[in-house]
């Protein structure tokens, strides 16, 4: 039975393990794909990890909510990226924080700041701990005397609901399932569901500019923020709660995506919507991936705004148990709280048919039947995917994703180039051919967000190094062909070298100025500083 305690290694909570059926599905797929035998290794438990002693002691001012216990320090060393897993399997926790502070209030945060500034200690904000880009690891070099992981999950309440304006004032440490459960009693939902939703916190999603998987219109957390309250080492920034304002640069936009380097988001007024009553969904099959992409483009530019329009190329569809590996799939879904959605679905299907798609119209309208069921099965598998990674790492398989964005006219060449570069990278790093696939996670009138996945048979003891070679070659290709290296996974440490190549340097200097003013001692998440001197 699952508990409320997070797993040391793996996704979710202790006791929540994948089923025997899921484990067989994952391992058999890997054996089919790569053949041969696999050396299976297990990650060491907490007792087997040799953890250095804390460099600093918990001061009296923090003793009511802070700890240096071994398990707490281990739990706050890593997020959920592939290199995080690879190092956990080696028992490598060299960068574990010295103290974990479970703050309960803004006063607790201020106390942490005061101690850290006076003792030259770095502070690493920690929400859901789901970062897949090295965003929560306390890597600060030798410039600091120690590190504190500042855990926000006890700031977990909905403080106020305005049903008239459809908004709520919510604390930053609340996890998505708890937030949605509380909003449900008001007939409301934020309807922002990243793949990490099981563990993700509201403040973490805002700080990393997350993208939810209702993939058109209001897809990014940016669009849902009405106002923010942020505690910085220099003081409090609280924006006015308005539906919109043209009064200069937005203070909220400065904090959205700042990844905890400028301040800690403790409260947010978030825009909500009524819970949907009307739904329709199906899957459309295409023999030609480029025709499928063209259908998605036309649907995206027709202002139909489906809740989901997601392209899976043939290999991605097959990898997720849909199809025989020869056809690409477009998953379509519409929903609304006010009126039926059949007319919108009809128009989207007409577009798909014109471009060679095949589907069952009755299934699409009713939202039931084989193809609608297949689409639902894929969505369920998508949410379960993070639970499978530990099993894959045990087998020595290198697996990761990188999310990009590109304009429509460049997509065909971009798609071919990135697939080829990543396949070549897998071969160069491991000596064996890898598997690379693509899906669209989000779609906009001016372009899609192609999300590439790769898998390769690696070598235990060198998984992190082999991963880095593959990821580096792939991201070099993304930059060279005009894409972005991160569409909704934030920057963290893993993406920083490529992020620097994308940003205007004058903007980096301006951001450094904000950092210097809001965090004069530079104690807040210095390893993830999106500025000139990072």
2 confidence band (pLDDT: 50, 70, 90): low
pLDDT, tens digit, 9 for 90 and up, residues 252-270: 999 999 999 999 999 999 9
pLDDT score of 532 = 46
CA angle 109, 131, 503 (to 5 degrees): 95
Q: State how far the Cα of 463 lies from the Cα of 393, in Å rounded to an integer.
A: 9
pLDDT, tens digit, 9 for 90 and up, residues 163-180: 999 999 999 999 999 999
pLDDT, tens digit, 9 for 90 and up, residues 502-523: 889 899 899 999 999 999 999 9
With respect to residue 23, please indicate whether it lies within any of the assigned structural domains.
Answer: no
pLDDT score of 377 = 63
Say if residue 325's pLDDT is above 90. Answer: no
CA angle 18, 23, 24 (to 5 degrees): 150
pLDDT score of 529 = 64
**CATH code of the domain covering residue 132:** 3.30.43.10
pLDDT score of 400 = 95
With respect to residue 15, please indicate whether it lies within any of the assigned structural domains.
Answer: no
Q: At a CB cut-off of 8 Å and minimum separation 6, what does 532 contact?
A: 505, 508, 509, 511, 512
Question: Both 410 and 316 in a single domain?
Answer: yes
pLDDT, tens digit, 9 for 90 and up, residues 350-408: 999 999 999 876 766 666 665 656 556 666 777 788 999 999 999 999 999 999 999 99
With respect to residue 534, please indicate whether it lies within any of the assigned structural domains.
Answer: no
Question: Both 426 and 289 in a single domain?
Answer: yes
Question: Both 337 and 390 in a single domain?
Answer: yes
Say if residue 183's pLDDT is above 90. Answer: yes
Domain boundary among 250, 274, 298: 274
pLDDT score of 50 = 96
| Burial environment of residue 398 by CB neighbours within 10 A (0 to 12, 13 to 18, 19 or more) | buried
- Percent of all residues in the chain with a pLDDT value above 70, rounded to a whole number: 95
What's the 3-state SS for 6-67? Answer: ECCCCCCECCCCCCHHHHHHHHHHHHHHHCCCCCCCCCCCHHHCCCCCCCCCCCHHHCCCEE
With respect to residue 79, please indicate whether it lies within any of the assigned structural domains.
Answer: yes
The helix (H) or strand (E) run that includes residue 401 is strand 397-403
Comparing CA positions, the residue from 154, 147, 130, 278 lying closest to residue 207 is 130
**Counted domains in the chain:** 4
pLDDT score of 534 = 42
Q: Which residues of 50-59 are buried (b: 16+ CB within 10 A; e: fewer)?
A: eeeebebebb
With respect to residue 393, please indicate whether it lies within any of the assigned structural domains.
Answer: yes
Domain boundary among 125, 151, 177: 151
Could you tell me how far CA 134 lies from the centroid of its own chain? 11
Question: Both 365 and 426 in a single domain?
Answer: yes
With respect to residue 17, please indicate whether it lies within any of the assigned structural domains.
Answer: no
**CATH code of the domain covering residue 240:** 3.30.465.10
Query: pTM of the full predicted structure?
Result: 0.94
**CATH code of the domain covering residue 432:** 3.40.462.40
Q: State how far the Cα of 302 lies from the Cα of 279, in Å rounded to an integer.
A: 19
Question: Both 129 and 191 in a single domain?
Answer: no
Question: Both 292 and 422 in a single domain?
Answer: yes
Do the beta carbons of residue 330 and residue 288 sit within 8 Å?
no
The overall average pLDDT reported for the chain is: 93
pLDDT score of 533 = 47
pLDDT score of 218 = 85
| Burial environment of residue 114 by CB neighbours within 10 A (0 to 12, 13 to 18, 19 or more) | middle
Q: What is the mean pLDDT of residues 412-428?
A: 98
Question: Both 242 and 384 in a single domain?
Answer: no
Structural domain harbouring 517: 497-528
With respect to residue 21, please indicate whether it lies within any of the assigned structural domains.
Answer: no
For residues 238 and 499, the model is more confident at 238
Say if residue 243's pLDDT is above 90. Answer: yes
Question: Both 282 and 431 in a single domain?
Answer: yes
Question: Both 330 and 432 in a single domain?
Answer: yes
Question: Both 456 and 356 in a single domain?
Answer: yes
| Unique residue bearing structure tokens 């002691």 | 57
Do the beta carbons of residue 207 and residue 258 sit within 8 Å?
yes
The helix (H) or strand (E) run that includes residue 148 is strand 146-151
pLDDT score of 374 = 55
With respect to residue 42, please indicate whether it lies within any of the assigned structural domains.
Answer: yes
Question: Both 286 and 399 in a single domain?
Answer: yes
Domain boundary among 89, 118, 151: 151
Question: Both 198 and 119 in a single domain?
Answer: no
């Amino acid at each position: 039975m699952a508990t409320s305690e997070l797993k040391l290694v793996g996704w979710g909570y202790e006791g929540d393990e994948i089923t025997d059926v899921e484990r067989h599905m994952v391992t058999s797929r890997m054996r089919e794909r790569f053949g041969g035998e696999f050396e299976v290794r297990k990650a060491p438990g907490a007792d087997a990890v040799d953890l250095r002693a804390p460099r600093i002691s918990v001061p009296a001012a923090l003793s009511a909510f802070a700890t240096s216990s071994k398990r707490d320090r281990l739990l706050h060393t890593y997020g959920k990226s592939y290199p995080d897993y690879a190092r956990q399997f080696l028992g490598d926790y060299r960068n574990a924080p010295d103290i974990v502070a479970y703050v309960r209030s803004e006063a607790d945060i201020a106390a942490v700041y005061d101690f850290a500034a006076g003792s030259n200690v770095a502070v690493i904000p920690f929400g859901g701990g789901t970062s897949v880009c090295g965003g929560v690891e306390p890597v600060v070099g030798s410039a600091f005397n120690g590190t504190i992981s500042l855990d926000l999950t006890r700031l977990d309440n909905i403080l106020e609901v305005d049903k008239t304006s459809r908004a709520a004032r919510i604390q930053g440490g609340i996890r998505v399932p708890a937030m949605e459960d509380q909003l449900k009693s008001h007939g409301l939902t934020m309807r922002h569901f990243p793949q990490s939703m099981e563990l993700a916190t509201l403040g973490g999603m805002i700080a990393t500019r997350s993208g939810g998987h209702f993939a058109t219109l209001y897809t990014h957390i940016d669009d849902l923020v009405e106002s923010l309250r942020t505690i910085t080492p220099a003081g409090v920034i609280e924006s006015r709660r308005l539906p919109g304002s043209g009064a200069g640069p937005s203070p909220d936009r400065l904090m959205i995506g700042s990844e905890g380097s400028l301040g800690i988001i403790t409260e947010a007024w978030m825009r909500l919507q009524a819970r949907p009553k009307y739904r329709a969904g199906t899957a459309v099959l295409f023999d030609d991936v480029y025709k499928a992409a063209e259908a998605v483009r036309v649907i995206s530019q027709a202002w139909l705004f489906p809740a989901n329009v997601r392209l899976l190329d043939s290999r991605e569809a097959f990898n997720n148990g849909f199809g025989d590996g020869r056809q690409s799939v477009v998953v379509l879904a519409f929903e609304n709280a006010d009126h039926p959605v059949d007319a919108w679905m009809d128009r989207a299907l007409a577009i798909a048919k014109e471009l060679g798609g095949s589907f069952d119209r009755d299934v699409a309208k009713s939202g039931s039947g084989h193809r609608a069921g297949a689409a639902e099965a894929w969505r369920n598998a998508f949410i379960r995917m993070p639970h499978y990674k530990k099993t894959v790492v045990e087998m020595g398989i290198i697996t990761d994703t990188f999310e990009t964005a590109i304009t429509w006219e460049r997509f065909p060449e971009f798609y071919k180039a990135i697939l080829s570069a990543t396949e070549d990278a897998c071969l160069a790093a491991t000596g064996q051919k890898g598997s690379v696939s693509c899906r669209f996670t989000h779609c906009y009138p001016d372009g899609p967000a192609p999300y590439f996945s790769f898998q390769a048979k690696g070598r235990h003891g060198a998984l992190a190094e082999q991963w880095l070679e593959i990821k580096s070659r792939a991201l070099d290709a993304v930059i060279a062909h005009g894409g972005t290296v991160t569409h909704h996974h934030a920057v963290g440490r893993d993406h920083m070298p490529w992020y620097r190549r994308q940003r205007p340097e004058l903007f980096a200097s301006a951001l450094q100025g904000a950092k210097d003013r809001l965090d004069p001692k530079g104690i807040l998440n210095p390893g993830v500083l999106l500025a000139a001197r990072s």
